[in-house]
Chains A and B, each alone.
Chain A
Amino acid sequence: MTISFFIIAAITIVGTAAAMSLKNLVHCVLSLTLGLVGLALLFLLLGAQFVGFTQILVYVGAVAILAVFAIMMTRSAEPMTNLPPASFRLSGVLIAATVFAVLAWAISSATRSLPSQSSQPEVSVNQIGVALMHQFVLPLEVIGVLLTAALVGAAILAMDETGASR
């Protein structure tokens, strides 16, 4: 358990760190993908099969490809020569530290409020489906409407103005 955890954690951290530090944008995306795979493996290690596989399906299969497409279509994948100014970096570090602090506080307080017995709950796909369709049906539908709106917006943006009648 611990050995595999450390290996997977190392993969995740190396992947995400490389995603921030590499020069070539495509390399960044590929190493980010590695980090996402590591995250998925962490989920699997915790016994959350559904979340783990969904992580791979959505992030590796779709989001990474989307990022790659975005890079290929907006700017050249050549390594950047001009680095961002120092103030950018400083503010970046500040934001990262703040986010980390908030998350750490949230997680540590959440673990305190949890019941002490830590038996792994067996969450099956069935239960997730039932929860989504009963307890969380409104948020699910709202997300669905939001995504549909985004899709329609994207289609309108991509529509050829001259040939709109077709």
Chain B
Amino acid sequence: MLGQGILKGLAETARNFFGSYINKDRLTTVQFPEERLPQIEATRDFPFLVYDGTDWDQGMRCVSCQICEKECPPKCIYIVKSADKKPDATGKPQFYPARFDIDISVCMSCQICVEVCPFDAIKMDVDFELSTTDRFGGLLLNKQQLAKSNEYYNKIHPTEAAAVDAALADERAKADAKLRQAAEAKAAAAAAPPTPPAEKTVVQ
């Protein structure tokens, strides 16, 4: 019979129509600004700079090595290396970025900057409500806008941040141990009578 399928289809849409008024579970739409879906942990959009401690300028992990700037495929990172050194969060004197800009209208969220950073200083953010009225200036983020605390990082990517923190603590402990060893060795050397090793080192 011609038209049987049409009637079946009409019944199906009618069932959906009335069902959506009776059974709220049918409606899969999330009313966005009021309701939000929980973010999955692997969410990422644009990079930000991690700082330790409370002062964003003081505690910034970035040492201005400029690897990310060179690796960035669309070249959206702009870094000016400082002339002097400044103590970082651990008190060690380091170079720091005098200027660090990311143009997020160019950024393609590839995460390569994060992969190449040897200092775990740059990480991916999850903040997506970034619309501005000024499409050039408003989307060019400077150092202060990019700086976000390690606690924030721990909040948005807990597992990853815990691993990073553990690795950093491990490294720092190793460095401390080395430093201590070196100091001990120095102390031991100072205690022992001076030998002429200077020539040997030159040869090596």
Q: Please determine if A and B sit in direct contact within the complex, based on CB atoms under 8 angstroms apart.
A: no
List residues of B whose CB falls within 8 A of some A CB.
none
List residues of A whose CB falls within 8 A of some B CB.
none
